[in-house]
Amino acid sequence: MDKKTTSLDKLRELTPRLLSRKDIIMRAKYGAAMAARVNPAVEQWFITREAEQAKRRASELVINAVQQPEPAELETRQAVSELQTAREVEVLNRERDLLVADKRNLVEEAYLPPQAAAGGGQSQYVQGNDDAIAA
Amino acid sequence: MQLLPKIFKQSDNTLQRDDEQLIRYEAQIGGRLFGALPKGHRREFFCLDEHTWVWHEEWVDGKGKRQVATTRYDIRPSGILKAQGSQYQPLSTEETINLYKAIELYEQQVNAAYDKMLVAV
């Protein structure tokens, strides 16, 4: 058995003692608070401190509430984000279509005979072939 | 886990011995709650049981003589009493508040140390 396993076993064995000590300390603290509050001046100190703590907690809650968006706000944000994404997709699709159309034009121009490409009817090559067929 | 060898030097502790060693460990944590100590000073503060808190301090005086002071705080339904030697006296308002603040810190730090050990199990 290695050293780590032994320590872990010892810890497992010790767990109830640790929990028991935690419990004793908690009760000792509670008892001390009760006994201390017998003194009116100390009681006043406790009351003032508890009020300050409550006030601090309340202001923390307010700050958190302000900082955290409401569910409706979240939904709006999500909708806006979805709309933006949709628009971006639309723009991208349009750009892609334009690119595809340009490419198609380029390909068509490259394969068209020179005259046809220039808008002048059939090419010499095509004409020659027609003559051969007629003969 | 790394804390264990510091607390437990032997593996054959009885339950009582475990508790004693845990208290000794807590006393070290408690002793550090009040800031740094001058050289040659030793301070311990700990919860002995549900009704008793102990402050123990040892130091060497200017003449090289070892001095020891132990204060026991007895928690009673009627208030907190301070015992030094055979003398008992009630705590002043300021002492009571300071003791309570120390107890709160002690609980926080000891609990944090124990929680760390318990998580490792």
pLDDT in tens, A18-71: 999 999 999 999 999 999 999 999 999 999 999 999 999 999 988 888 888 777
**Which of B23, B100, B118 is nearest residue A33 as measured by Cβ atoms?**
B100
Q: Does residue A49 belong to the interface with chain B, where contact is any CB pair within 8 Å?
A: no
Report yes or no: B45 and B37 within 8 Å, Cβ to Cβ. Answer: no
**DSSP conformation class of B91:** P
Those residues with Cβ within 8 angstroms of residue B89's Cβ, 6 or more apart along the chain or in another chain: B81, B82
How high is the pLDDT of residue A87? 86
How high is the pLDDT of residue B4? 54
**Which of B5, B11, B80 is nearest residue A32 as measured by Cβ atoms?**
B80
B-side interface with A, Cβ within 8 Å?
A: 1, 4-5, 8, 11, 15, 18-19, 22-23, 26, 47, 49-53, 73, 75-80, 91, 93, 96-97, 99-100, 103-104, 106-107, 110-111, 114, 117-118, 120-121
Q: Tell me the pLDDT tens digit for each residue of A121-131.
A: 555 555 555 55
Strand order across the B79-84 sheet = B42-49, B52-60, B66-76, B79-84, B87-90
Nearest to B53, CA basis, from B33, B30, B37:
B30
| Helix intervals (H) in A1-135 | 3-36, 40-67, 71-111, 114-118, 124-134
Report yes or no: A19 and A11 within 8 Å, Cβ to Cβ. Answer: no
pLDDT over 50 (residue B61): yes
Q: Does residue A38 belong to the interface with chain B, where contact is any CB pair within 8 Å?
A: yes
pLDDT over 90 (residue B28): yes
Q: Say how far residue A29 (Cα) sits from the centre of its chain.
A: 44
Mean pLDDT (whole number) for A106-112: 78
Mean pLDDT (whole number) for B25-33: 95
Taking the CA of residue B110 and the nearest CA in chain A, the distance in Å comes to 8
A47, B42, B56, B59 from B38: Cα distances, Å: 36, 9, 15, 9
Q: Which of B9-13, B22-26, B51-55 has the lowest mean pLDDT?
A: B9-13
Q: Do A29 and B103 touch (CB under 8 A)?
A: yes
Q: Do B77 and A4 touch (CB under 8 A)?
A: no
Count of other CB atoms within 10 angstroms of residue B8 = 19
* Residue labelled with tokens 């569910």: A71
pLDDT over 80 (residue B86): yes
How high is the pLDDT of residue A105? 83
How high is the pLDDT of residue B1? 47
